[in-house]
Amino acid sequence: MTAWLIKTFLLCVLNVAAALLLSPLCEGILRKLRATIHSRVGPPVSQPFWDIFKLLGKEDLRSTGGLVYAALPALTLGSVLLLAALVPIGTGAPLSFAGDLIVVLYVAAISSVLMMLTGFGSGSPYAAIGSSREMIMLLTVEPVMAIALAVGAFKARTLTLGGIANWQVQNGPSISMAIGGVAFFLALQAVAGKLPFDIAEADQEIMGGLLIEQSGPRLAMFRWAIWTKQLVLAFLLVEVFFPWPHFGVYPADLLATLVKVMALLVLVTVIDVVNPRLRIDQAMGYYMRVAVSSLAALAFAVIGK
Amino acid sequence: MSTVNQATVKRVKETVAARCNGSLLAATEPHADTLHFTIDKTSMRSVVESLVNGFQARFMISIGTDSRPLTGDFGILHLFSLDRDHLYILIESHASDKDLSVPSITEIIPGANWAEREFRDAVGVHPEGHPDPRRLLLADDWPEGVFPLRRDFPYNYQPPPAEKANPQLREPPPGASVMPMGPFFPVLEEPAYWRLFVEGETIVGCDTRLFYNHRGIEKLGDSVLTYNEIPYLAERICGICGFIHSTCYCQAVEKAAAISVPRRARYIRTIMLELERIHSHLLWLGIAGHIIGFDTVLMQTWRIREPLMWLCEEISGNRKTYGMNTVGGLRRDFPDALKPKLLETLAEVEKEAIAVREAIIGDPTLHARTRGVGVLTNDWAKKICVVGPPARASGVAIDARIDHPYAAYDEIPPRIATQEPGDTWSRVVVRVTELLESIRLVRDAVWAIPEGPICAEIKKEIPPGRVGVSVVEAPRGEAIHFVLTGGDNRPYRWRVRAPTYPNLQAMPAMIANANIADVPITLGSLDPCFSCTERLETVDRKTNSVRVYSHAELLEISRRKASSGASSPTARRGGSQ
Amino acid sequence: MFLSKLREALICLRAGRVTLKYPFAPQEPKPGFRGKVTINADLCFGCGGCANVCPAGVIVVSDKEQYLRTLEFFWRRCTYCGKCEEVCPEKAVRLSPQFETATNAPQDMYMRLDVFMGPCQRCGRCFPPPTVLDRMMKTGFREGLGGGRA
């Protein structure tokens, strides 16, 4: 019992540490890639680490009070780290006994909701607009993620992520899971806050949107949470929808996953760089079409493909 | 220079004389293309109405002058253009100290809205019947009754600071909430205050307060600087179209003083003007991309324009403020040794610009953000007298290089690009087409550039009392400089109208019933140059009613509480933020 | 749709990285660049032509005594137009390629040039002494005061 407890605890720590430490590095690599496509040198790869370090040392200027408002950044980062412990990274998720794919979906949504609350609570009209846009995005993108994961659950006859991944490894690729994977990828573009869907967070049109009033350590935590969420959901996508090749040996599996995750994030960034931002109503329309099309995946799953 | 239609001149003279009912005080022709009528102010509306409706004249600008040392009263001039006939028409009337007002012409031609408010702020002559005579130019805490462009006002006067001075802005209509954009405007990062009245994400009205950057350039021009020092100030009116303003000013003085500029100088001016147009349009493409989040377009177009900036640095000594113009021609020659390099750089820029055009022309996400966005109909474009690419994109085919040719454009005429839809995408298309056309023009000019002197020798002093109007087609539209020469080696009155001035007045028409997210790109598609414009306020308008001013004004008046005469800033102090 | 995106990506990648290394490496402006004004004090004889044409009024000329003309240059308001260089009869005023003129110390952008003059015997107006010996006599052989030094 104790051995299992220790093993679970260590795996949790490993997952959380991997998510926390790898995400600024990932972000740095992606910024460098973005800069290269822009024909410029760009910041060094370690820049996000320096950004967090600098922000943690700055003054915390809070425009409104309240205990809940003060705790929101930490809660957001915490929820993303919880998501990291629920998602398989290299091997089975350490907390998979505590939650299956439905819990994962909800925990993924918590961080968006918390950021929305921050926006509404900060009192700036620009943040309010950013928050309302984030709400619309969440409502439109969640169903797509849910449908994609539901396809996996249907095929594998289980609700646990590890179960779906194992089923995939045993049964090889299938059309329905491929469509589901693509749908989840499109949803990832929005959840990671990348163009053409970065409508809520980094909106130059409304001066920074959601996070406009956050500064210092609060901003550091929000930014870290966004980067980590992007990485963790990429892990989720790769582990559940594209788990091949599977070695059975933890270090090799981890390495393979990391390579696939980097390739995925590179694709996300390339799409980000060659697109302008869409308006919220256009993004909504787009995701509704994606949701309807991904129902085709369910249809394929039903007929056994 | 193109020939003016004498039949039209005769018709204009007859019509004006007829409408004046005998109160025509003077009718002169200072230049072959300029008609100057001095009328009694009571017949102002009638004359303007005949010009606008009968001749389809385009309103350009109004000029308010304190001519008390010359004639004992204040002069108000309205400048119109008959584009097809290559004519300028100046209608001058006077207002004496005892009756400081002239009839307003804004109801006849809405484009005169800001111009009339401006001369009210500048010299104190009130436009009678103006639908919205709020403060335009002067700061909210500027004292009442102090008019900067009067002759007895010292240029370095500093008024005492005021306690609480808020801009007088309107309240939203019932059911709508306010969304402020500014005073630090987020996207363009310039001081501009737009107050949008929104219902959800749709805009139902707007109000603005601009002119935070007013620098008093015209005052400096007629009090402190001399004829040959003003080009350096004119160059700094705008951060990107400096050469345009200095050329336009020099041309106005050269016209007034009948100085003939040597042919080589005119060709070099054409080359530098077109080079400015190329790099300005490339810059604009980048900014428009940045506004909609497409940073890649920003980086790439600015990378493409960089060799052009270096080339301008080699030609003139500076990337942007060339300092080449002087009255009579140029003071710095175009080095012939740079011709091959110029052609080579142009070829490179053309290749890259075409590549960018091919890439963005089929981009659906770009189309989603720009097609059907910020539509300015042909009708409104003519009413507000919009100029430049926004006008050409709405089907109004005006271009100062063809309508009032200057520099070497009579020998190398450009081809105008027009589009019909009037949305943001058509403005993009117009500017990209113009960019490629400018490259062709520079090539033609470089091949055809003659030898010879670059500056006319001016042996005599410039005589006072002469009028000169000159226009230059800036990348943003038509820039106008009006000069009335004075004694002691400086103009008596120098009036600058930048192209963004009328274009900004079109904003309310363009964002009516639009989405908030479309406001920055709509404003960006006008290519506003706030430093040129010296900002102004606008009025909100709804596009579905023709007599917008009076309708909106009536609603506003009926909702407004007591007090407020229109022009007192104390009426709404401490209000609406 | 993908074709246009591909074209856009190709434009970007073909260009490579164009960032200049400045300020970590020096950047020379193009020849003929109008940078900070330099005065060769030995050549200046105090005609004041530059002060006459300067549009920004950067140069202030004052005559202290019979023999001393002071030219003050407020370089921080200079617009780098180059009219002073054009007008100077002795080519004492030159625009250098120096463009890095940002400084915390205002005295970096201020210069005072004292020109020692002698009066013309016919009209009584001053002009600078023609030879070095004359210059030294004018200043009374005082240490450290070379005539016409800034």
Q: For residue A37, what is the nearest residue in chain B, using CA coordinates?
A: B296
Instruction: Point out the residue among C5, C15, C81 whose CB comes nearest to the CB of B323.
Output: C81
Instruction: Look at the alpha carbons of B24, B26, B29, B35 in this order and tell me if their dihedral is positive or negative.
Output: negative
pLDDT bin (cut points 50, 70, 90) of residue C138 is: low
**What's the confidence (pLDDT) of residue B527?**
86
Query: Which of the 8 DSSP states describes residue A129?
Result: H
CA distance B197 to B193: 13
Tokens of B401: 């290089």
CA distance B376 to B421: 8
Report phi then psi at B414, rounded to 5: -85, 165
Checking if the pLDDT of B552 tops 50, the result is no
CA distance A203 to B519: 13
DSSP-assigned beta bridge partners for residue B329: B326, B455
A276 interfacial to chain C (CB closer than 8 Å): no
Chain C hits for B355, Cβ within 8 Å: 7, 11
**What's the confidence (pLDDT) of residue B543?**
32
User: Hey, how many other C-beta atoms are within 10 angstroms of the C-beta on C143?
Assistant: 6
Question: Do residue C19 and residue A41 have CB atoms under 8 angstroms apart?
Answer: yes
**What's the confidence (pLDDT) of residue C128?**
66
Q: For residue B296, what is the nearest residue in chain C, using CA coordinates?
A: C12
DSSP for B409-441, written as a single string:
TTTSPPPP---SS-SHHHHHHHHHHHHHHHHHH
Alpha-carbon separation of residue A190 from A195, A201, A226, B484, C23 (angstroms): 8, 11, 12, 60, 38
What confidence tens digit (pLDDT) does each residue in B345-382 have? 999 999 999 999 988 888 888 898 899 899 999 999 99
DSSP-assigned beta bridge partners for residue A265: none
Instruction: Report the pLDDT averaged over residues B418-438.
Output: 94
Query: Is residue C122 situated within a structural domain?
Result: yes
Checking if the pLDDT of C12 tops 70, the result is yes
What confidence tens digit (pLDDT) does each residue in B16-44 have? 888 887 788 888 998 989 999 999 989 89
Q: What is the ipTM of this complex?
A: 0.87
Chain B hits for A205, Cβ within 8 Å: 186-187, 291, 293, 517, 520
Query: Is residue C100 situated within a structural domain?
Result: yes
pLDDT bin (cut points 50, 70, 90) of residue B542 is: very low
A275 interfacial to chain C (CB closer than 8 Å): yes
CA distance B393 to B391: 5
Query: Is residue C56 situated within a structural domain?
Result: yes
Checking if the pLDDT of B103 tops 90, the result is yes
- CA-closest candidate to residue B266, choices B328, B345, B349: B328
Question: Do residue C12 and residue A275 have CB atoms under 8 angstroms apart?
Answer: no
- CA-closest candidate to residue B275, choices B217, B340, B346, B212: B346
Q: Over pLDDT 90: what percentage of chain B?
A: 54
Shortest alpha-carbon distance between residue A271 and chain C (Å): 9
Question: Do residue B296 and residue C80 have CB atoms under 8 angstroms apart?
Answer: no
Query: Is residue C24 situated within a structural domain?
Result: no
Instruction: Point out the residue among A198, A274, A281 whose CB comes nearest to the CB of B296.
Output: A274
Q: Where does CATH 3.30.460.80 sit in chain B?
A: 1-166
What is the residue-averaged pLDDT of chain A?
Answer: 88
**Domain range for residue C112?**
29-138
What confidence tens digit (pLDDT) does each residue in C111-125 have? 999 888 766 778 766
Alpha-carbon separation of residue B437 from A182, B355, B417 (angstroms): 44, 15, 9
**What's the confidence (pLDDT) of residue B553?**
41
Query: Is residue C47 situated within a structural domain?
Result: yes
Secondary structure of residue B62 in the 3-state scheme? strand
B176 interfacial to chain A (CB closer than 8 Å): no
Instruction: Point out the residue among C13, C18, C19 whose CB comes nearest to the CB of A37.
Output: C13
> Contact C96/C38 with Cβ under 8 angstroms?
yes
Alpha-carbon separation of residue C16 from A39, B35, B202, B287 (angstroms): 5, 57, 42, 21
Instruction: Point out the residue among B180, B187, B369 whose CB comes nearest to the CB of A276.
Output: B369
Query: Is residue C146 situated within a structural domain?
Result: no
Half-sphere exposure of residue B242: CA atoms within 13 angstroms, side-chain side = 18
Half-sphere exposure of residue B120: CA atoms within 13 angstroms, side-chain side = 24
Question: Do residue C33 and residue B317 have CB atoms under 8 angstroms apart?
Answer: yes
Secondary structure of residue B408 in the 3-state scheme? coil
What confidence tens digit (pLDDT) does each residue in B452-496 have? 999 999 988 899 999 999 999 999 999 999 999 998 889 999 999
Torsion of CA B188, B192, B193, B196, to 10 degrees: -50
CA distance B12 to B82: 10
Q: Which of residues 37-96 of A touch C (CB under 8 A)?
A: 37-41
Chain C hits for B348, Cβ within 8 Å: none
CB-based contacts of B444, cutoff 8 Å, min separation 6? B412
User: Hey, how many other C-beta atoms are within 10 angstroms of the C-beta on A181?
Assistant: 20
CB-based contacts of B294, cutoff 8 Å, min separation 6? A195, A275, A276, A277, B366
Chain A hits for B180, Cβ within 8 Å: 125
H-helix or E-strand containing A298? helix A280-302
What's B1-166's CATH class? alpha beta
Instruction: Point out the residue among B179, B366, B520 whose CB comes nearest to the CB of A276.
Output: B366
- CA-closest candidate to residue A232, choices A52, A79, A31, A71: A79
**What's the confidence (pLDDT) of residue C126?**
64
Q: For residue A197, what is the nearest residue in chain B, using CA coordinates?
A: B293
What is the residue-averaged pLDDT of chain B?
Answer: 86
What confidence tens digit (pLDDT) does each residue in B237-257 have? 988 889 999 999 999 999 999
CB-based contacts of B114, cutoff 8 Å, min separation 6? B136, B501, B502, B505, B536, B537, B538
Question: Hey, which CATH number is domain B217-505, 3.30.70.2190, 1.10.645.10, 3.40.50.10490, 3.40.50.880?
Answer: 1.10.645.10
Question: Do residue B292 and residue A125 have CB atoms under 8 angstroms apart?
Answer: no
CA distance A304 to A137: 32
pLDDT bin (cut points 50, 70, 90) of residue B573 is: very low
Tokens of B136: 């335009």
Shortest alpha-carbon distance between residue C114 and chain B (Å): 27
Half-sphere exposure of residue B48: CA atoms within 13 angstroms, side-chain side = 30
Instruction: Point out the residue among B228, B232, B363 whose CB comes nearest to the CB of C4.
Output: B363
C15 interfacial to chain B (CB closer than 8 Å): yes
Question: Do residue B318 and residue C95 have CB atoms under 8 angstroms apart?
Answer: no
Tokens of B267: 């060709």
B173-189 burial code (b ≥16 CB/10 A, e <16): beebebbebbeebbbbe
> Contact C14/B359 with Cβ under 8 angstroms?
no
Chain B hits for A280, Cβ within 8 Å: 201, 517
Query: Is residue C69 situated within a structural domain?
Result: yes
B549 interfacial to chain C (CB closer than 8 Å): no
Instruction: Point out the residue among C5, C8, C17 whose CB comes nearest to the CB of A39.
Output: C17
CA distance A141 to B424: 29
CA distance A248 to A9: 21
Number of A to B CB contacts under 8 A, please give it.
Answer: 65
DSSP for A14-51, written as a single string:
HHHHHHHHHHHHHHHHHHHHHHHHTTS----TTHHHHH
What confidence tens digit (pLDDT) does each residue in B51-81 have? 999 999 999 999 999 999 988 999 999 999 9
H-helix or E-strand containing A203? none
Question: Do residue A40 and residue C16 have CB atoms under 8 angstroms apart?
Answer: no
Instruction: Count up the domains in chain C and report the number.
Output: 1
**What's the confidence (pLDDT) of residue B391?**
95
Top-confidence residue, B307 or A206: B307
**What's the confidence (pLDDT) of residue B550?**
33
Instruction: Report the pLDDT averaged over residues A269-296.
Output: 89
Chain C hits for A37, Cβ within 8 Å: 9, 12-13
Query: Is residue C50 situated within a structural domain?
Result: yes
Q: Which of residues 5-44 of C touch A (CB under 8 A)?
A: 5, 8-9, 12-13, 15-19
Shortest alpha-carbon distance between residue B37 and chain C (Å): 35
B180 interfacial to chain A (CB closer than 8 Å): yes
Instruction: Report the pLDDT averaged over residues B223-241.
Output: 90
CA distance A88 to A240: 8
Q: Where does CATH 1.10.645.10 sit in chain B?
A: 217-505
Question: Do residue B291 and residue A204 have CB atoms under 8 angstroms apart?
Answer: yes
